[in-house]
A and B are shown apart, each in its own frame.
Chain A
Amino acid sequence: MEGITVSGAGLSFVMECFRKYVGKSWEIAVFCLAGMIVSALTIIRSRRAMRADGIYAAAKVPDSSGAVYGIGSVTWMNWTLLIMLGLTVYNPFLVRKLVPKLGMTTVYYRMFWAFPLIPAAAFYLTELIFLPKKRMLRTAACALAAAGIILLMPLNPGVRYHLTLPDNVFKVHGAIPVICDVIHEDFEASEQYSYWNERAEGLDLDTKKGARTYVLSFPRCVFPSELEFQVRQYDPGVTLTFNRNMRLFYDGNTSTGIQYTSKSAAYRRRKLILDVCRGKTEGVTTEDFQTAMKKTRTQYLIVNPAQADPSFLKVAGCRLVSETAGYCIYSYGITKEG
């Protein structure tokens, strides 16, 4: 989980992660635990009553009312599961040793899925609702529980921030189809495309040479952050200079657990290109920029006109292909056929 490490949290790592996992929905955990405790106490009481009065007394105990399987077996299962998980994957001593070795620090939260907290809470809540015998009371209890959840608990962040109709049937930013069309049109009229396309023809895609040549017949681009992660979902005929982890790291997201330092030449070059795209040209020479573009084989830069410095890009040898959908598309090292 982001911001929580075994080295930092030590033995409280599991608890810290759990706190972050449930967040403000702590009522679910409390209700589930309360249900498990009350139910377990009821079972113990009923067993004692059975032992004291003989088997006949079982009929008097509400939980073993004969016609129903009862909540006892579910509670037993929940406790068994919780104890077993507590001894293994929720065991702070074991977790402290194992999680860093397995590289699971950032994804440890998934271990909390192993205990079905929400279904267990919903189960005990349902049993509580059905405790009254009268139908009216049950209906009122059901309405009260639903209203309580809706009014007192926070709405899921995904729903809160994303409840809007998409721009198009592909559910991507409206600019992406337009930009991709422009890039393909420009690239397919270039000498580079003809050269690599001719070489790729007749080569077997199953071989390393064939597959690499095939990839070179695609334009390589750098997109702004709001478009970068959507482009290849829509158009895999466009290749990107950045890979996912590098781009996330550049944007300040370290949730992948991967760090890039200035020692990494591959990252340094890509960072320089993106810095220029964002108008951070201070201290950057055109030679450095051109080297970075050549080494990374970057052919197209899609920039936000409000951020980029057009004069720097022009001096560095970039050509403005088009200004469309609110973005400027520059090409570098692309020569037109004929």
Chain B
Amino acid sequence: MRIALLAAIAAIVLCFLFLCTGSMIQKMRGKKDFSLSGALLLGYVVYFSLFEVICLACEVTLAPLSRLSVIMMTVGTALMLGGVVYCWRNWLFRVSSLKSRLRAHGWLLAVVIVLTLAVCFFALIYTDDSADSDFYVGMASTALYTNTIGRFDPTNGRLLKAINPRYAYALYPIHNAAVADLFHIPAIVAARSVMSVINALVSCLAYYKLGRILFVQKADSNLTLEETGRTGDQVYVLQTRKTDVFTILLLLLNLFSATIYMPGAFLFTRTFEGKHLIVNVVVPLAAAVCVAVYRGIPEDAGEQRYVFENLFFLLLAGVCFSASVSVPALMVAAALFPFSVYSKKWNMLLRLFLAELPFLVWAVLYILNSRRVFILAAYR
């Protein structure tokens, strides 16, 4: 009971941390359309980018897990305090407009919420005795038990000669260990219950965010009401309802996808793995970035750079999640490189290159590490 209670507190605190982080960034950017779900999503991505950098530094210097936990606790507390002080007015304003937004959704929102809760519930009850679960959850358990970062083989507990390059940079499991350390819960509960449920929720939000971008409606100032046939409110309602229907269909298609290789299998069963985060968070958000660029969203040229900033954080967080970060990085390059060249947007090409830097740096380090140009030693 105590463990379940502490796990619930951990989940709430982490969600609040993501919300605070994202809210601060949104406010710093001076965004007009402040959104709580968008802030949570952005905060999640930025938080894991930050975690990757800090954790990698700790891993390379053979620092103990407890030191990483203290650093993350300090950073997390600062972000939460900053978020509360800096953004509470925005939250209140957003909550005050909840009624009108609920009206725009209609009954469809209830279906979206039920499906999202079903995904979270399934993530919570799912039991897994697979070898992958053994590795990823075992990595967190071993780190917590030995107070080290990635230096022992999680599958049998032996000391590694050197840290495996394939897993050396995908440090997401160590985050589960840090959460377990800070909230005094077993690592298996942090990985398979707390973070699993948060990941399931974030995946649904990522799909919803993709829907918002896919069905965004343009209020063209050159067209009159007669020409468009819609007022501003109607345009917003249409976008909202299309997004709701899209999210419902997407979750249903994932639920009724037939093989263990498809994203649905990861969304409903393997939410504790970094691969799940790649396929159900990073890929949809990367697709949203691509659609936004193709559509020229946001219209303000100054704000367009934020899309690439988000992409940078997304790929950096992707490096933290799994070595499969190459998939979204490739996808973004394949979609945006021809577009930039075709439309002769050379500035965009430079932004794309900068946004892909986390992946490129990871790829270079991975290749050099695999070819043993350098190794990450497991001991001094």
Chain A residues engaging chain B, CB cutoff 8 angstroms: 1, 20-25, 28, 59, 65-69, 73-74, 76-77, 80-81, 84-85, 88-89, 107, 109-116, 118-119, 121-123, 125-126, 129-130, 142, 145-146, 149-150, 153-159, 162-167, 169-173, 204-208, 210-212, 214-215, 218, 226-230, 232-244, 247-248, 253
Query: Shortest Cβ distance from A217 into chain B, in angstroms?
Result: 11
Please determine whether A126 and B156 come into contact, CB atoms closer than 8 angstroms.
no
CA distance A230 to B188 in the complex (A): 10
Please determine whether A113 and B283 come into contact, CB atoms closer than 8 angstroms.
yes
Please determine whether A236 and B339 come into contact, CB atoms closer than 8 angstroms.
no
Please determine whether B157 and A238 come into contact, CB atoms closer than 8 angstroms.
yes
Question: Which of B11-19, B37-45, B47-55, B122-130 has 4 or more CB atoms under 8 Å from chain A?
Answer: B122-130
Please determine whether A165 and B255 come into contact, CB atoms closer than 8 angstroms.
no
- Chain A residues closer than 8 Å to B255, beta-carbon distance: 155-156, 159
Please determine whether B284 and A110 come into contact, CB atoms closer than 8 angstroms.
no
Tell whether B278 is near chain A: CB-to-CB under 8 Å: yes
Given known contacts A215-B158, A218-B157, is B235 in contact with A226 (CB within 8 Å)? no
Using CB atoms, name the residue of chain A closest to B328.
A114
Chain B residues engaging chain A, CB cutoff 8 angstroms: 3-4, 7, 62, 122, 125-131, 133-135, 137-138, 141-142, 144-148, 151-159, 186-189, 191-193, 207, 210, 214-220, 223, 227-230, 235, 238, 242, 245-246, 248-250, 252-265, 268-270, 275, 278-279, 283-284, 287, 290-291, 294-295, 324, 327-328, 330-331, 334-335, 337-339, 378-380
Having A77-B335, A126-B249, A233-B188, one finds 9 other A-B pairs with CB under 8 Å, namely A21-B259, A67-B228, A110-B327, A171-B188, A204-B380, A208-B380, A230-B133, A230-B134, A243-B156
Partner of A236 from B3, B157, B283 at Cβ < 8 Å = B157
Closest 7 CB pairs of A and B: A158-B269, A67-B228, A239-B157, A84-B334, A244-B155, A153-B256, A229-B134
Q: Give me 8 A-to-B residue pairs in the complex whose CB atoms sit less than 8 angstroms apart, sorted by A's number.
A: A22-B258, A25-B259, A74-B294, A107-B324, A157-B260, A172-B129, A206-B380, A229-B133
Please determine whether A114 and B218 come into contact, CB atoms closer than 8 angstroms.
no
Using CB atoms, name the residue of chain B closest to A171.
B127
- Chain A residues closer than 8 Å to B227, beta-carbon distance: 59, 66-67
Please determine whether B338 and A150 come into contact, CB atoms closer than 8 angstroms.
no
CA distance A1 to B259 in the complex (A): 12
Please determine whether B242 and A239 come into contact, CB atoms closer than 8 angstroms.
no
Please determine whether B335 and A81 come into contact, CB atoms closer than 8 angstroms.
yes
Given known contacts A22-B262, A230-B134, is B218 in contact with A170 (CB within 8 Å)? no
Given known contacts A77-B290, A229-B133, is B258 in contact with A69 (CB within 8 Å)? no
Please determine whether B159 and A215 come into contact, CB atoms closer than 8 angstroms.
yes
Residue of B191, B210, B294 with most chain A CB atoms under a 10 A cut-off: B294
Using CB atoms, name the residue of chain B closest to A21.
B261
Partner of B269 from A154, A162, A239 at Cβ < 8 Å = A162
Interface of B is mostly: helix
CA distance A173 to B294 in the complex (A): 50
Query: Shortest Cβ distance from A201 into chain B, in angstroms?
Result: 15
Residue of B147, B216, B257 with most chain A CB atoms under a 10 A cut-off: B257
Please determine whether A234 and B331 come into contact, CB atoms closer than 8 angstroms.
no
- Chain B residues closer than 8 Å to A240, beta-carbon distance: 155-157
Query: Shortest Cβ distance from A196 into chain B, in angstroms?
Result: 14
Partner of B217 from A69, A170, A233 at Cβ < 8 Å = A69
Given known contacts A162-B269, A226-B129, is B138 in contact with A69 (CB within 8 Å)? no
CA distance A232 to B173 in the complex (A): 14
Please determine whether A73 and B291 come into contact, CB atoms closer than 8 angstroms.
yes
Partner of B148 from A156, A205, A248 at Cβ < 8 Å = A205
- Chain B residues closer than 8 Å to A67, beta-carbon distance: 217-220, 223, 227-230, 235
Please determine whether B330 and A154 come into contact, CB atoms closer than 8 angstroms.
no
Please determine whether A115 and B156 come into contact, CB atoms closer than 8 angstroms.
no
- Chain B residues closer than 8 Å to A109, beta-carbon distance: 261
Given known contacts A88-B334, A149-B252, is B294 in contact with A77 (CB within 8 Å)? yes
Please determine whether B324 and A118 come into contact, CB atoms closer than 8 angstroms.
no
- Chain A residues closer than 8 Å to B192, beta-carbon distance: 170-171, 233
Please determine whether B259 and A116 come into contact, CB atoms closer than 8 angstroms.
no
Please determine whether B235 and A233 come into contact, CB atoms closer than 8 angstroms.
no
- Chain B residues closer than 8 Å to A226, beta-carbon distance: 129
CA distance A218 to B258 in the complex (A): 42
- Chain A residues closer than 8 Å to B270, beta-carbon distance: 158
Partner of A126 from B133, B246, B379 at Cβ < 8 Å = B246
